[in-house]
Structure 1
Amino acid sequence: MPRTKGSKNRPKSDLVSQIAEKQSVIQTLTAEVEAIQKDVEEKKTTLKTKKSELKSAEKEVAKLEAKKAKADQKVAEEAKKAEAENVVKKLLASGVSADEILEKLK
């Protein structure tokens, strides 16, 4: 009985070439995954340093705001003191006694 054409004479290099192609795809994907993982680690490190810089900057701002509040309070107290001194001078100039000035300041 005669053989049919190509029944058992198929070349097996087709499977070999497919395996080789898939292995090269696997290698490129593995390389890409490793590159992405390395990039993620670098980004994590950068994020960590930026967070610490942000935290220290926020602390500095808080300190400066506290100093500003103290300075504003001191300026307000000095303004009140100066106003009280002006009132006392005006009252003394108008001939009011020291006892009467003390009563008005209370």
Structure 2
Amino acid sequence: MVIGVVVALSPLWMTTDNTALWTLVVLGALIALDGLASLAMPGMVYGEGIQIVLGALLFISPWVMGYAGLTGASWTAWIGGVLTVVAGAAAMPIAQATHRTAGQH
């Protein structure tokens, strides 16, 4: 969730163009909202999968959306994307175990 908030707010302290600004804000907000949903419902297995997909989209966004020349925005997307994928992958086994345990009641 924290990664998404940082990414979404990053245009406040770095140079962006309109495309980079909206890409970072939208993907950052989606990552933060998915993280919040995962915290609220820990047994929700698909939340971590969504997190991984959003992280991958954030990582490739500088090239796909055409703002790779904006150093700060690009590095924010690359680092935020990798951290989001790692966090989602790390949480996957915990969410699956919680989901299995919840189904046994």
TM-score by length of 2: 0.27
- The TM-score with structure 1 as length reference comes to 0.27
Q: Which has the higher contact order (CA 8 A, sep 6+)?
A: 2
Task: State the structure with more CA Rg.
Answer: 1
